[in-house]
Amino acid sequence: MNLAEKDGWFSRTPALLSGGVTVSGGHVYIGSEKAQLFALNTSDGTVAWQTRVAVKRFLVRSSSDGMVLVHTSNGQLQALNEADGAVKWTVNLDMPALSLRGESAPATAYGAAIVGGDNGRVSAVLMQQGQIIWQQRISQATGPTEIDRLNDVDTTPVIVNGVVYTLAYNGNLTALDLRSGQIMWKRELGSVNDFIVDGNRIYLVDQNDRLLALTTEGGVTLWTQSDLLHRLLTAPVLYNGNLVVGDSEGYMHWVNPEDGHFVAQQKVDSSGFRTDPIVADGRLLIQATDGTLYSITR
């Protein structure tokens, strides 16, 4: 599918596609640096619809409510009609003067969208009305420099049994009550990487590249793997009973989730890994910095 725009008789202007691809509800969603969101039919790749969003940089998630959620880099959360791309509502979230590159992907449950903001807050928004139900600060901007005061919530919230688990940069790992937004507990841990909640455990990579396992009740540390400091780790993924992370040097690391010891370590790519691994159809997929896509089984 060529998404370039017709420019005169013979030439086309490139669409300049950017960001990741989201697949849901019979559509493939992908954005462009021209602030366009395309919905392609999964059956044949034709364009079902395209629409303009507020800014060039945004993150897309589909929901089970017939909506596509778009979180933009200027602090807007928009809901689009899944059928035709029409904007149903827009919610403005406060934006600080300086923030990290990247946005939180919304999570949905019980008719609400839960999303982190660059202002250190987590917001719950009613899906049908676009109305904010509650907002809760999980990170406070403190410190002598602007970098120290960054407090973005760029991770995707995880919702389990009525509890919202959230994680901020320079902030806290926090458990919130889904209905009220009240803080149930918090731990001083910061990250921009998505994390895993599996059973009664939380697995995460913190901003110093430590891999940790904590309890879902109180956030008590069960183990810490500190042998990969400053290797710019990806978010962890569970695959065949192991935690797996990639790093900027092109290594893949398999870690035992029970005690944090290394099961295997393998050099896979010379350009390194920056994108998070995913598991699909029994395979571990990860894209290297140079664009090479690896499918790994073990």
pLDDT tens digits for the chain (298 residues)? 555 554 443 334 345 555 557 777 788 888 777 778 889 998 888 999 988 876 555 667 766 678 888 887 777 888 989 889 899 999 888 765 444 455 678 899 999 999 988 778 899 999 989 999 999 988 766 655 555 555 567 789 999 999 999 998 877 899 999 999 999 999 999 888 999 999 999 999 998 999 999 999 999 999 999 999 999 999 999 999 999 999 999 999 999 999 999 999 999 999 999 888 988 888 899 989 888 989 888 7
Cβ neighbour number for residue 290 with a 10 Å cutoff: 10
Report whether 3 contacts 12 (CB < 8 A).
no
Whether 97 maps to a domain, the answer reads no
Q: How much is the pLDDT for 105? A: 82
Q: How much is the pLDDT for 249? A: 96
Q: How much is the pLDDT for 63? A: 65
Asked if residue 67 and residue 32 are part of one domain, the reply reads yes
| Domain carrying residue 30 | 1-92
Asked if residue 285 and residue 213 are part of one domain, the reply reads yes
In the DSSP assignment, the letter for residue 180 is T
Asked if residue 205 and residue 282 are part of one domain, the reply reads yes
Asked if residue 124 and residue 64 are part of one domain, the reply reads no
Asked if residue 113 and residue 188 are part of one domain, the reply reads yes
Q: How much is the pLDDT for 8? A: 44
Asked if residue 181 and residue 108 are part of one domain, the reply reads yes
Q: How much is the pLDDT for 231? A: 95
Q: How much is the pLDDT for 37? A: 86
Residue 184: CATH number of its domain? 2.40.10.480
Asked if residue 206 and residue 288 are part of one domain, the reply reads yes
| Beta pairing partners, 125 | 113, 132
Q: Are strands 17-24 and 107-109 parallel, antiparallel or unpaired?
A: unpaired
Residue 282: CATH number of its domain? 2.40.128.630
Beta-sheet strand order (sheet of 131-137)? 107-109, 112-116, 121-126, 131-137
Whether 156 maps to a domain, the answer reads yes
Domain boundary among 60, 92, 124: 92
Strands (DSSP E) contained in 173-219 are 173-177, 183-187, 196-198, 201-205, 211-215
Report how far apart the first and last C-alpha atoms of the chain are (Å, whole number): 34
Q: How much is the pLDDT for 143? A: 59
